[in-house]
Amino acid sequence: MKVGFALFLVLLVSVSEAKITKQNIGNFLRCLRSRTSPLNPITEALYNHDNSTFVSTYVSYTKNKRCSNPNDTNLIAIVAAKHESHVQETVVCAKSNEIQIRIRSVGHDYEGLSYISSVPFVILDMHNLRSITIDVSNKKAWVQAGATLGELYTKIAEASKTLAFAAGVCPTVGAGGHISGGGYGNLIRKYGISVDHVVDAQLVDANGKILNRASMGEDLFWAIRGGGGASFGVILSWKINLVEVPETLTVFKVNKTLEQGVNDVLYKWQLVSSKLPRELFLSAMPQITKGAKSDEKTIAVAFSAQYLGSAEKLMAIISKSLPELGLKREDCNEMSWINTTTFWADFPVGTPTSVLLKRPLEPPGAFFKSKSDYVKKPIPKEGMEKIWKMMLKFNNVWMQWNPYGGVMDKIPANATAFPHRKGNLFKIQYFSFWNDANVTDANLGSMKELYDVTEPYVSSNPREAFLNYRDIDIGSNLSGETNTEEAEIYGSKYFLGNLKRLMDVKAKYDPENFFRYEQSIPPLRAM
Ligand SMILES: Cc1cc2nc3c(=O)[nH]c(=O)nc-3n(C[C@H](O)[C@H](O)[C@H](O)COP(=O)(O)OP(=O)(O)OC[C@H]3O[C@@H](n4cnc5c(N)ncnc54)[C@H](O)[C@@H]3O)c2cc1C
Ligand SMILES: *[C@@H]1O[C@H](CO)[C@@H](O)[C@H](O)[C@H]1NC(C)=O
Ligand SMILES: *[C@@H]1O[C@H](CO)[C@@H](O)[C@H](O)[C@H]1NC(C)=O
Ligand SMILES: *[C@@H]1O[C@H](CO)[C@@H](O)[C@H](O)[C@H]1NC(C)=O
Ligand SMILES: *[C@@H]1O[C@H](CO)[C@@H](O)[C@H](O)[C@H]1NC(C)=O
Ligand SMILES: *[C@@H]1O[C@H](CO)[C@@H](O)[C@H](O)[C@H]1NC(C)=O
Ligand SMILES: *[C@@H]1O[C@H](CO)[C@@H](O)[C@H](O)[C@H]1NC(C)=O
Ligand SMILES: *[C@@H]1O[C@H](CO)[C@@H](O)[C@H](O)[C@H]1NC(C)=O
């Protein structure tokens, strides 16, 4: 779909990459060495293929084995910045030598766009910059880009029993990518998403300058809240508002199969889940499970909930709004907010919260592929049947149906660059994983088929997608290029009506399109 607004093309960006030579690379490395300060020498942060720890530095932060390639000959070096000046030096030297960078905080990008490129490139890795400071009395925190959500959650809980942050469920996700892409989690119905609580940020721009909210201006500050940081600069840190939670929350997880009548429960769930009290987040996860006979498969839906209150009150809400679930008191677990974060990360109740702090991360174990959709009217039961039939063709696929509503209906779509707000019943995440490279093509093919089956039931014109669930199939360009027409295809799905302003901000702050990648925002000024 083309974005429907009149544009005067001041800049037509479809640059064929000038060939990167050995000379560019040599000049880049010399530039780094000449600019580095003796106090914070960049050599301590610079890895090339000859360093004995190059491969481990690379793979520790490549979550998806499908994209991870330590032997990538396009990868010139990794700068694992230990100091902010290393970030500035890398930007200045890469730009002046026409070398692309990929910014990586913790490498959870679903398509590996923080660590791959089809032209020569340098990874600017932020994992060493991960300090977190909590200011309990003002309910604020500064968090550096390389911190993980698990580290942030732990620091908050150490400082207060009744403060939390609205962000994702996976403790190893990085603050740099996660927050700039929106930051979806189970406090969404009460508090919205991460970008709704960002009050300041530090960023290195295309000139290598460090800016904060006041010096970058409201346009750029708006863009990095949901537009993805990597089109605009390198996020060094975020200043966030912490949100209030009770000392005791309640969680549960209940399964039901098709044979146990889950279709009726899930249909009803579609009608009520976005209208429940904001304190309740009730998600549904359709997945494949063993059937009655050992050689049979069926669909089970796991319903997982988090309630900002007691089990007793939660029981009362469910028995009124979704009695079909058959929830029992013993299914419910009361616990602190920090303990709910291990529950959502799929650790058994009682697991020590130290699991949230695992570092360094392990080399990627699995290959995976994900896609997303937004649902605005209930999927009819016959549609659900079609989806299950398709899912049963896979060995290893699941979906997450994550409810919207609550405060998401109240926040204007243009308040931040993240546009998916009012009118969504829920968001779907599709996720398939496997352990053998031989079946990659087959799995990618099955994912496309599943996405085709759901098409009649989800948002259209455009078919919306969530930036944090990066999906290269919805449109992309080769690394060396940014084609505006192509960018309007993926951009309109990720950003809807906010795309125009994002392109305008991009043109203002990075007119030469230094910060570009396969799904970046092109610099294009509307007049
Ligand atoms: C297991 C798992 C669970 C997840 N759960 C959730 C969830 O609950 N909710 C949710 O919203 N998302 C979730 N995600 C998606 C996740 O939020 C995104 O993949 C996010 O971009 C990861 O951030 P990162 O810094 O780890 O990734 P990276 O791969 O390092 O970066 C992702 C993108 O952001 C850019 N970027 C990274 N750091 C910076 C920076 N400092 N400055 C500018 N640009 C930067 C990269 O260039 C890339 O384009 C999950 C992902 C995984 C793998
Ligand atoms: C990588 O190797 C080079 C050359 O031996 C060395 O100067 C540099 O300090 C090493 N980098 C790191 C991060 O150890
Ligand atoms: C990278 O190359 C090494 C040495 O040639 C090889 O052993 C290894 O399997 C390769 N790794 C990948 C992921 O291709
Ligand atoms: C729900 O079903 C899944 C898939 O069979 C299984 O892995 C999980 O343990 C079940 N959970 C509960 C709470 O029964
Ligand atoms: C949180 O979990 C820990 C570890 O299992 C447990 O010891 C503690 O009692 C729990 N606290 C709360 C309030 O849930
Ligand atoms: C956001 O949208 C509202 C309503 O459409 C409009 O009045 C407002 O000017 C917009 N704000 C920005 C910053 O575009
Ligand atoms: C993958 O395919 C290759 C080549 O066909 C074969 O040699 C290998 O055994 C297969 N691997 C697995 C795990 O099946
Ligand atoms: C890039 O843009 C062009 C023009 O729209 C398109 O034909 C192409 O498929 C895009 N994608 C890639 C990967 O080049």
Q: How far, in Å, is the centroid of ligand 4 from the Cα of 397?
A: 14
Pocket test for ligand 1, best of 66, 90, 109, 131 (most atoms within 8 A of CB): 109
Question: Is pLDDT at 16 greater than 60 in this prediction?
Answer: no
How confident is the model at residue 9, as a pLDDT? 35
Q: Is the CB–ligand 7 distance for residue 436 below 6 Å?
A: yes
Q: Mean pLDDT, to the nearest integer, of 235-239? A: 98
Please identify, by atom number, the ligand 7 atom nearest to the C-alpha of residue 436. 13
Mean confidence (pLDDT) of the chain = 94
Question: Is pLDDT at 301 greater than 90 in this prediction?
Answer: yes
**Which of the listed CATH numbers 2.60.40.1250, 3.40.228.10, 3.40.50.800, 3.40.462.20 matches domain 249-335+366-457?**
3.40.462.20
Rounded CA-CA distance 461/479 in Å is 27
How confident is the model at residue 360, as a pLDDT? 75
Question: Is pLDDT at 372 greater than 50 in this prediction?
Answer: yes
Instruction: Output 8 or 403, whichever has higher pLDDT.
Output: 403
Ligand of minimum distance to the alpha carbon of 437: 7
Residues having CB closer than 6 A to ligand 8 are 476-478, 483, 485-486
Question: Is pLDDT at 12 greater than 80 in this prediction?
Answer: no
41 Cβ partners below 8 Å, 6+ apart?
A: none
Q: Which residues pair with 201 in a beta bridge?
A: 238
How confident is the model at residue 198, as a pLDDT? 98
How confident is the model at residue 281, as a pLDDT? 98
- What are 497-511's pLDDT values in tens digits? 999 999 999 999 999
- What amino acid is encoded at 208 in this protein? G
Ligand of minimum distance to the alpha carbon of 366: 1
Q: What share of the chain in percent tops pLDDT 70?
A: 96
Closest residue by CA, ligand 2 atom 8: 43
Q: How far, in Å, is the centroid of ligand 6 from the Cα of 332?
A: 43
Rounded CA-CA distance 362/469 in Å is 21
Instruction: From 102, 90, 116, 99, select the one nearest 19 (Cα to Cα).
Output: 99
Structure tokens at 385: 């049947």
Residues having CB closer than 6 A to ligand 1 are 63, 102-110, 113-114, 126, 145, 168-170, 173-174, 176-178, 180-185, 228-230, 234-235, 468
The dotted CATH code for 2-125 is 3.30.43.10
Question: Is pLDDT at 10 greater than 50 in this prediction?
Answer: no
Instruction: Output 36 or 282, whichever has higher pLDDT.
Output: 282
**DSSP 8-class letter at 342:** H
Ligand of minimum distance to the alpha carbon of 436: 7
How confident is the model at residue 482, as a pLDDT? 80
Rounded CA-CA distance 104/58 in Å is 10
- What are 207-233's pLDDT values in tens digits? 999 999 999 999 999 999 999 999 999
Question: Is pLDDT at 495 greater than 60 in this prediction?
Answer: yes
31 Cβ partners below 8 Å, 6+ apart?
A: 89, 92, 93, 96, 97
Q: Mean pLDDT, to the nearest integer, of 248-256? A: 97
How confident is the model at residue 526, as a pLDDT? 64
Please identify, by atom number, the ligand 1 atom nearest to the C-alpha of residue 175. 25
Closest residue by CA, ligand 5 atom 14: 335
Q: Is the CB–ligand 5 distance for residue 352 below 6 Å?
A: yes
Domain with CATH 3.30.465.10 in the chain: 132-244
CATH fold of 132-244 reads 3.30.465
Q: Is the CB–ligand 5 distance for residue 336 below 6 Å?
A: yes
How many residues are recorded in the chain?
527
Q: What is the 3-state secondary structure (H, E, C) of 229-252?
A: HHHCCEEEEEEEECEECCCCEEEE
Question: Is pLDDT at 128 greater than 90 in this prediction?
Answer: yes
Separation in Å, CA 355 to CA 336, 358, 359, 364: 16, 6, 10, 18
Q: Mean pLDDT, to the nearest integer, of 66-74? A: 95
- What amino acid is encoded at 84 in this protein? E
- Report field, pTM of the whole predicted structure over 0.85: yes
Q: How far, in Å, is the centroid of ligand 3 from the Cα of 176?
A: 29
Buried b (16+ CB within 10 A) or exposed e, 404-425: bbbbbeebebebbbbbbbeebb
How confident is the model at residue 478, as a pLDDT? 80
How confident is the model at residue 480, as a pLDDT? 66
Burial of 348 (0-12, 13-18, 19+ CB in 10 A): exposed
Q: Mean pLDDT, to the nearest integer, of 450-456? A: 98
Closest residue by CA, ligand 3 atom 9: 71
Q: How far, in Å, is the centroid of ligand 1 from the Cα of 263?
A: 33
Q: Mean pLDDT, to the nearest integer, of 373-396? A: 95
Question: Is pLDDT at 4 greater than 70 in this prediction?
Answer: no
Q: Mean pLDDT, to the nearest integer, of 474-488? A: 87
The answer to whether residue 469 is catalytic is: yes
Separation in Å, CA 213 to CA 64, 204, 239, 267: 33, 12, 10, 45
**Torsion sign, CA atoms 457, 462, 464, 465:** positive
Q: What share of the chain in percent tops pLDDT 90?
A: 90
Please identify, by atom number, the ligand 8 atom nearest to the C-alpha of residue 486. 5
How confident is the model at residue 359, as a pLDDT? 85
How confident is the model at residue 8, as a pLDDT? 35
Please identify, by atom number, the ligand 3 atom nearest to the C-alpha of residue 71. 1
Among 469, 490, 494, 517, which one carries the catalytic annotation?
469
Question: Is pLDDT at 1 greater than 80 in this prediction?
Answer: no
Rounded CA-CA distance 78/388 in Å is 44
Q: Mean pLDDT, to the nearest integer, of 25-36? A: 94
